[in-house]
Structures are given as C-alpha cells and as structure tokens.
Amino acid sequence: MYAFYDEFGVEVEIGTVRESFFVSCFENIYYSDIGDFKVGEYIFELGGENKSFKQLKDQKNAYVVVDTDYTTDERKIPLWLFGLMGKRDYGKQIEQMANDPLVISDIEEIEKGFE
C-alpha cells in the first residue's frame, strides 16, 4: 500500500492498513453486517486505541481489535497478536482464547519439545 503512495501519491488510510493486515491472518474470513469481519462465530471490529464497543453492543462473541501495544479490557485484542498466530482457520483457537486466555491450544507442539 505504501508503495502506491510513493509511486502515485495516493494517501494510505490507516484503517485500510489495519484491515488488510487482519484479513491476511486468516484463511476463512467474511465481512460482517455488525462489525468489520466475521471469523467462524466471532465478530471483530477494528480500530485505534480508543475504539469503543458501540457497533458491537449486546453482541455475543464480539471483540474489538485495537491497534495498540496492550489492553486490559477482556473484549479488546491487540491487532499485532493476530500476526503471531500464523495463517489458518482460528475458530477453535479464538474460542479458547475467549474462554480462558491461558489455555494452550496445541498440546502436541508442546509434547514435541520434550522428545
């Protein structure tokens, strides 16, 4: 995107950068009428550090993905964390993170480390 700015002088919208990064983290992702995207049964709204839950009010399995280093809000997830997960279908992993952020989803990988 930034290459287009250099080449054609087209302004880059930070929201477009956030959404492009987020979409690139998933194999199966869809637009949502409520938030920005839907992955499995989960709805995500992307935004900056001060993004609110206005669009997601009263929605179950809905999270705000924020462009910030960290957050203490249980329903906000820093955008950069999605880049660490690797590209695959995250329905099960998101459910586990939502229910207990300390749950490790891939026990086989841990067991391989002890071989």
- Across the range 12-18, mean pLDDT stands at 87
Residue ranges of domains in the chain: 2-113
Q: How many CB atoms lie within 10 A of CB 109?
A: 9
Residue 104 has pLDDT above 80, yes or no: no
- Across the range 45-51, mean pLDDT stands at 89
Residue 51 has pLDDT above 70, yes or no: yes
- Across the range 14-31, mean pLDDT stands at 89
- Across the range 27-50, mean pLDDT stands at 89
In SS3 terms, 63-101 reads as EEEECCCCCCCCCEEECHHHHHCCCECCHHHHHHHHHCC
Q: Residue 65 — pLDDT band, cuts 50, 70, 90?
A: very high
Q: How many CB atoms lie within 10 A of CB 45?
A: 22
Q: Which tokens sit at 105?
A: 């989803």
Digit-coded pLDDT (tens) for 73-99: 888 889 988 888 766 555 555 655 555
Predicted pLDDT of residue 37 = 92
Percent of the chain past pLDDT 70, that is, above it, reads: 70
